[in-house]
């Protein structure tokens, strides 16, 4: 494709995405939030069955395999899997995939820059809401951006064992984080609403970041409960400094879930680990799968 054709194609895509700047992102997401919790049987059965057929959801691994097994659409969406459906075994020498999904981007942080898509990057400083101490820890470290499609299992697990030391809720936009959105919205992961969890681990500081999106504005963790939606549209920082009541989450243990799907970003310090070489863009992954090895 010529340079002119590339520029024209990019311009067309920017025009296509303009409506996403105009729609009431939070209002639409709030509506979806309520509709997916309706327990009126004909309605919830219709939603679940239609969704399963349209997205070709594999229910073989789920505890409930039919729309009748769930009281509402959201209960289906955050479904639990059968014991043994995923290889959730602790391995101190490895980093485990925290989600089912696909690799959006993976690699090394270039000082303060992370790759969003080919030819597009964004800043670590903005992603971490100007937490300077955390930014310094992750400069030149490793990152992985993992996309959860609508059909995926939407519970998030721990890639390594860690002690929670800080959480940061960052209000923001709710642009879609699918391929089209990622390729056409500048700094999308640093603009969208997100919840940053910082853990002290054997590998130094680790961040697990939940990124919201349109119709995906509800996030929960096992330690904080429902984080969004919320009427508080300001940055909220929660420190966990009491070592006598330290909150530890073990590797492979459940961390939280999206009520509807989105993206998880992992950050690790420099020289602590290496990603497996076959983890390329669009590579499918399953929770518990080994995605990295601890540096020796």
Predicted confidence (pLDDT) at residue 114 exceeds the cutoff of 70: yes
pLDDT of residue 261: 65
Is residue 85 a part of any domain in this protein?
no
Tens digits of residue pLDDT in 285-296: 999 999 999 997
Is residue 82 a part of any domain in this protein?
no
Separation between Cα atoms, residue 258 and residue 177, nearest integer Å: 13
Tens digits of residue pLDDT in 202-257: 999 999 999 988 776 578 999 999 888 777 789 999 999 877 678 999 999 999 99
Residues 98 and 28 in one domain: no
Higher pLDDT, 232 or 94: 94
Is residue 64 a part of any domain in this protein?
yes
Active-site option among 157, 167, 218, 257 = 157
Range scoring the smallest mean pLDDT among 67-71, 176-180, 213-217, 235-239: 213-217
Residues 60 and 140 in one domain: no
Is residue 86 a part of any domain in this protein?
no
Residues 102 and 159 in one domain: yes
Residues 168 and 241 in one domain: yes
Three-class SS of residue 194? strand
Answer whether 256's CB lies under 8 Å from 247's CB.
no
* Active-site annotation holds for 100: yes
pLDDT of residue 227: 87
Q: Sorting pLDDT into bands at 50, 70 and 90, what band is 103?
A: very high
How many C-beta atoms lie closer than 10 Å to residue 124's C-beta?
Answer: 25
Residues 68 and 195 in one domain: no
pTM passes above 0.75: yes
Of 31, 51, 77, the residue at which a domain comes to its end is 77
Mean pLDDT of the chain: 90
Q: Sorting pLDDT into bands at 50, 70 and 90, what band is 119?
A: confident
- For the CA atoms of 215, 20, 8, 118, the dihedral, rounded to the nearest 10 degrees, stands at -40
Active-site option among 26, 100, 131, 152 = 100
Residues 209 and 271 in one domain: yes
Residues 150 and 46 in one domain: no
Range scoring the smallest mean pLDDT among 106-115, 181-190, 283-292: 181-190
Residues 203 and 253 in one domain: yes
Predicted confidence (pLDDT) at residue 196 exceeds the cutoff of 90: yes
Q: Which of 192, 224, 223 lies closest to 210 in space, CA to CA?
A: 192
Residues 56 and 130 in one domain: no
Q: Sorting pLDDT into bands at 50, 70 and 90, what band is 152?
A: very high
Of 77, 108, 134, the residue at which a domain comes to its end is 77
For the chain, give the percent of residues with pLDDT over 90.
Answer: 68
* Active-site annotation holds for 173: no
Residues 9 and 51 in one domain: yes
Q: Which of 294, 266, 252, 271 lies closest to 103 in space, CA to CA?
A: 266
Is residue 44 a part of any domain in this protein?
yes
How many C-beta atoms lie closer than 10 Å to residue 92's C-beta?
Answer: 9
Q: How many domains does the chain contain in total?
A: 2
Residues 99 and 162 in one domain: yes
Of 50, 77, 104, the residue at which a domain comes to its end is 77
Is residue 84 a part of any domain in this protein?
no
pLDDT of residue 260: 67
243 DSSP 8-state letter: G
pLDDT of residue 232: 78
For the chain, give the percent of residues with pLDDT over 70.
Answer: 93
Residues 227 and 280 in one domain: yes
Predicted confidence (pLDDT) at residue 1 exceeds the cutoff of 60: no
- Domain of residue 223 covers 94-294
Tokens representing residue 188 in the block: 């999308």
Q: How far from chain centre, in Å, is Cα 209?
A: 6
Q: Which of 268, 70, 260 lies closest to 162 in space, CA to CA?
A: 268
Residue with tokens 């300077």: 132
Is residue 162 a part of any domain in this protein?
yes
Range scoring the smallest mean pLDDT among 160-169, 206-215, 254-263: 254-263
Is residue 197 a part of any domain in this protein?
yes
For the residues 63-76, what does the mean pLDDT come to?
94
Predicted confidence (pLDDT) at residue 125 exceeds the cutoff of 90: yes
Strands (DSSP E) contained in 27-161 are 94-96, 101-108, 113-117, 120-123, 142-147, 155-157
């Amino acid at each position: 494709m010529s340079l002119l054709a590339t520029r024209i194609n990019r311009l067309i895509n920017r025009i296509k995405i303009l409506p996403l700047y105009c729609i009431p992102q939070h209002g639409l997401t709030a509506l979806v939030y309520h509709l997916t919790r309706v327990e009126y049987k004909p309605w919830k059965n219709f939603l679940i069955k239609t969704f399963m057929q349209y997205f070709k959801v594999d229910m073989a691994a789920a505890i409930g395999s039919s729309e009748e097994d769930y009281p509402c659409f959201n209960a289906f969406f955050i479904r639990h899997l059968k014991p043994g459906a995923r290889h959730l075994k602790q391995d101190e020498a490895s980093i485990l995939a925290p989600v089912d999904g696909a690799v959006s981007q993976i690699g090394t942080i270039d000082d303060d820059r992370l790759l969003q898509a080919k030819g597009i990057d964004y800043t670590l400083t903005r992603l971490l809401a100007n937490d300077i101490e955390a930014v310094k820890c992750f400069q030149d470290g490793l990152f992985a951006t993992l996309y959860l499609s609508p059909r995926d299992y939407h519970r998030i697990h721990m890639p390594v064992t860690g002690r929670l030391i800080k959480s940061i809720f960052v209000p923001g936009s709710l642009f879609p984080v699918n391929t089209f959105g990622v390729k056409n919205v500048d700094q999308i992961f640093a603009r969208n609403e997100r919840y940053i969890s910082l853990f002290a681990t054997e590998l130094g500081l680790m961040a697990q970041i939940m990124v919201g999106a349109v119709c995906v504005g509800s996030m929960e963790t096992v330690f904080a409960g429902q984080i969004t939606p919320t009427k508080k549209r300001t940055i909220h920082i929660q420190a966990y400094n009491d070592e006598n009541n330290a909150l530890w989450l073990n590797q492979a243990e459940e961390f939280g879930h999206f009520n509807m799907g989105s993206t998880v970003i992992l950050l690790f310090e420099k020289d602590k680990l290496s990603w497996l070489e076959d983890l390329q863009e669009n590579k499918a992954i399953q929770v518990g799968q080994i995605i990295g090895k601890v540096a020796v």
